[in-house]
């Protein structure tokens, strides 16, 4: 008598192997998706940390001897345009440096070269800004106007 596997045993073994492969591929797919979600969450948290650090630096340097300007406004008639463009503007102490230089043209075209403007007092403005591609989506925008005594940067 020869020893071997019957057809039923082979079919059962192949079925079990197929189930194991199916479950392992499902687990692999779920783990890849979980990794992508965790990476996206980490990126969002990193951006949130950078924003809150900037806000904390700006408000920590808030000058008590200057006014704070808060403006709530619409671009047009509030009944026609429900979008609000609120502003908060204040002066702050700190180590400020420009990241974008502008030429002296009336349109304020970004300059390609030049020395950065530096100063220890700036007017900071936080406001809503519309994203042109998506008219219903707004982002938080920050502008800083550095106060400096350097006459070489005056237009």
Q: Three-state SS across the chain?
A: CCCCCCHHHHHHHHHHHHHHHHHHHHHHHHHHHHHHHHHHHHHHHHHHHHHHHHHHHHHHCECCCCCCEEECCECCCCCCCCCECCEEEEEEEEEEECCCCECCCCCCCECCCCCCCEEEEEEEEEEEEEECCEEEEEEEEEEEEEECCCHHHCC
Pick the last residue of a domain from 60, 90, 111: 60
Examine the domain organization and report whether 33 and 87 are in the same domain. Answer: no
Examine the domain organization and report whether 80 and 17 are in the same domain. Answer: no
Q: In terms of Cα–Cα distance, which of 120, 124, 145, 137 is closest to 55? A: 124
What is the per-residue pLDDT across 91-121, written as a single tens digit (0 to 9) for each?
999 988 886 666 555 555 555 556 778 889 9
51: containing domain? 1-60
Examine the domain organization and report whether 68 and 115 are in the same domain. Answer: yes
Q: Residue 96: how many CB atoms within 10 A of its CB?
A: 23
Pick the last residue of a domain from 60, 79, 111: 60
Position 148 confidence tier, pLDDT thresholds 50, 70, 90:
confident
Of the listed ranges 56-65, 94-103, 122-131, the one predicted with least confidence: 94-103
- Residue 124, pLDDT > 90, answer yes
What is the per-residue pLDDT across 1-52, written as a single tens digit (0 to 9) for each?
778 888 999 999 999 999 999 999 999 999 999 999 999 999 999 999 999 9
| 123, 145 Cβ separation under 8 angstroms | yes
Examine the domain organization and report whether 80 and 44 are in the same domain. Answer: no
Examine the domain organization and report whether 68 and 50 are in the same domain. Answer: no
Examine the domain organization and report whether 44 and 76 are in the same domain. Answer: no
CA distances from 115 to 99, 101, 112, 128 (A): 10, 8, 10, 29
Examine the domain organization and report whether 104 and 140 are in the same domain. Answer: yes
Give me the pLDDT at residue 109, please.
Answer: 55
Q: Residue 119: how many CB atoms within 10 A of its CB?
A: 19
Domain count, the chain: 2
């Amino acid at each position: 008598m020869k020893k071997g596997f019957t057809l039923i045993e082979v079919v059962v073994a192949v079925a079990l192997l197929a189930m194991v492969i199916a479950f392992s591929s499902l687990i692999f797919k779920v783990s890849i998706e979980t990794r992508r979600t965790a990476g996206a969450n980490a990126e969002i948290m990193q951006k949130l940390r950078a924003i809150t650090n900037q806000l904390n630096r700006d408000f920590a340097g808030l000058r008590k001897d200057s006014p704070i300007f808060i403006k709530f406004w619409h671009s047009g008639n509030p009944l026609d345009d429900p979008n609000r463009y609120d502003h908060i503007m204040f002066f702050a102490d700190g180590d400020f440096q420009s990241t974008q230089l502008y030429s002296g043209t009336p349109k304020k075209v970004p300059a390609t070269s030049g020395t950065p403007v530096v100063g220890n007092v700036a007017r900071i403005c936080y406001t809503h800004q519309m994203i042109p591609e998506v008219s219903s989506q707004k982002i938080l925008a920050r502008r800083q106007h550095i106060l400096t005594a350097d006459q070489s940067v005056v237009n």
